[in-house]
Structure formats: C-alpha cells, structure tokens
Structure 1
Amino acid sequence: MKKRTIKQELFYLFSMELFSAVIFWVVYGMWVRAEPWVGKAAIYYPLIVLIVILVQGSLYWLNCLMRLKKQNALDTQQIARIYRLFKIMDYGLLAAYIPVLLFTKSFSVVGMLIWLFAIIELINYFHYRLSYYTKSGLGLQIIKPLRSLISGTAVKSQIAKEILSVQKGK
C-alpha cells in the first residue's frame, strides 16, 4: 500500500474526524428517531459532547493542513491557547454528564459507552496518541496503544506537544 503524503494524511485526518462526527449523529439519530427527545438526555448529551470533541480534532487537523500549505492558519501559540481552553471545556462537559444522569434520573448503557468513547477521544487529542494504523493501513490497532498507555511509554499527542511547547516558552 502506498503511503500518503503529509498533506494527504492531514486532509485524511481532518475529513475523517468530521465525517465521524456527522456519521455518529446520523446513525444515532436513525437509531433513536422513534424515541422522543424528552428523557433522552442520558443518551443525547454524551453524543453531543463526543461530536464537539471530534469537530475540535477535525479543526485542528485542518489548521495543520493550512499551515503546511502556507495558507491563513493559526500559529502554534494561538492553537495552544485555544486548545487549552477546549481541553478545560471538554473536561467540564464530560464531568457534567454525572449531574445530567442524576437530574434526569435515567441511565443508558449506550449513553455510557458514548461517554467513555468521548473520554478516549479526549485522551487521544489532549494527552497521548492512541490511534495507530495496522500494517495494511486499513484499520486501527487496539492493543498497542493500550499497552503503551499502561506501561507509561505512550507518545504525547500532537495537540499536547503544541500546548507544552508554548507553556515551556513562557
């Protein structure tokens, strides 16, 4: 399989994150379309949080692509400030799911799984890289990132590196 160029890879990352956000919403919407919105906060809330995190990732990769193409892009300091705020906001949104569950007095296994996936995406964007391609390039590895995370050898994510570089520069 031919390797993608850096521009192709950044476009792929941008488009796939955005596509994932749309697909999650569409598929999930079709799955629960017969269900009324009322009382479904235990399901819809984590979905919205996940989509927000996926769109943030998509915008980050788009900015990297624009940087590479030398188009109007945010520099490292601007990105670091914005994504540091996104990180705080995302933690708040994830933590707010607990009061949502308590307030609505509802529980959803699917909602909890989506919430856990949102936490994994937050870790993947803001802390450690958790996505590695298989040798064929057609899928993602699961065991390698978990093993590296548990062993403490995980590689910092690109966003985490940018935030750290700006913090160290102060």
Structure 2
Amino acid sequence: MRQALEKRFSFLYSGELSAVVMFIFVSIMVNRAYPELHLYSLLSFWASFLLLEFLLIQGSFYWYSKWRRLKREKISVTPMNVVQLLWKLKKWNIGLISLTSVAFVADFMRWSPTLPIGGLSLSCFIYIFAILEYINYFHIQLSYDNRSDIEYLRKTKRLKKSSLNRDFMHLKK
C-alpha cells in the first residue's frame, strides 16, 4: 500500500513539474510558428501563462512534500509548514487570478480595433485552464485518473474535496 502511494505521489509531482517545463517549450514553439498570434506581445498571455506555471509549481511542491515525507518518515500526512505556506499562497492565487482578468482588459484597450483574436483566444484558454488547476488543487478534485477515484465518483455521484483542501481543515483545529 505504501509503495503504491509513494509511486502515486511521485507520478503527481513529477507530472506537474514536467508540465511546467513542457509548457515553456510549447509556448516558444507556438510563438515562433504562429507570429500572427502576437502571443509574446499580449499582457493577457503572460499573465495567464505565469499564473498557470505558478499554480503547477505549487502543485508539484505539494505532491513532492507528501512523497518526501512518506519516503522518509513513512507517513503520508502533509507537513504542517507546507499546508500553512499553501494556505497563504491560496490568497495570492486569488489576487493573481483577478489581476489576470485586468490584463485582458488592458489588451483589449491596447489592441483595439486590431485585436489578435487567435492570441487572445489562446490566452483565454490558458487562463481558464489555470483557474481549473486552482480549483483542482485548492477546492474540489477535478481530475479522476485512477481506479479508486473513479470508484468513489461512481458510488457517491459527487466530486471529492481536493487533497489540499482536506489538509486545510487541519489548520482550523
């Protein structure tokens, strides 16, 4: 059981970290292949992209800390200092999500009437993806990719609280 959990935590933290690196390369390739999108000229792209990367790093850090503790101390309880840090970052994330919406307004004002619709659409997609990642980490689990999660969903017919959200409950005690 413990080895399976170690493997799961390792998969989660390395997957999130891989996504951080991969998205950097993908953004470079898309910007070079489609210069008409004006991606790197859009404030909304940079705000959305950096928000997403910041959230993925937080997710990777969370799963890494759980993996490391399980490996070293043989317990899967998240270290309290990690939970406290992520609780503080939760508030920062809300602020960054709000500021990112302002970046879209700024782009509309700057680029009007020649809006690069393709670039804005891609930026909007990244922004929505970042918000979904935030919800998945800090509120409700949106990703159901293993047998036990799918079984839970099938039996209860409702979404789970995220693992981090359950950890936050320990702060309030």
Q: Same fold (TM over 0.5)?
A: yes
Residues 1:8 and 1:102: Cα distance change in structure 2 (over 3 Å): same
Who wins on radius of gyration, i.e. which is larger?
A: 2
Does the 8 Å CA contact 2:141/2:160 hold for their aligned counterparts? yes
Aligned twin of 1:54: 56
Offset of residue 70 of structure 1: 2.0
Provide the TM-score with structure 2 as the length reference. 0.77
Match among 101, 104, 115 for residue 101 of structure 1: 104
Q: Unmatched 5+ residue regions in structure 1?
A: none
Provide the TM-score with structure 1 as the length reference. 0.78
Aligned twin of 1:155: 160
* 1:60 counterpart letter in structure 2: Y
| Consecutive aligned runs of 4 or more in structure 1 exceeding 6 Å deviation | none
Offset of residue 38 of structure 1: 6.0
CA-based RMSD of the aligned residues comes to 2.7
Larger helix proportion of the pair: 2
Aligned twin of 1:64: 66
How many residues align structurally? 153
Q: Unmatched 5+ residue regions in structure 2?
A: 112-116
Residue aligned with 2:41, SS: coil
Residue aligned with 1:113, SS: helix
Aligned twin of 2:114: none
C-alpha separation between the residues in 2 aligned to 1:109 and 1:37?
Answer: 10
C-alpha separation between the residues in 2 aligned to 1:82 and 1:6?
Answer: 23
Q: Deviations over 1:83-120 (max 9, x none)?
A: 11111111111110122122233560110010000010
Identity of paired residues, percent? 25
**Is 1:82–2:85 an aligned residue pair?**
yes
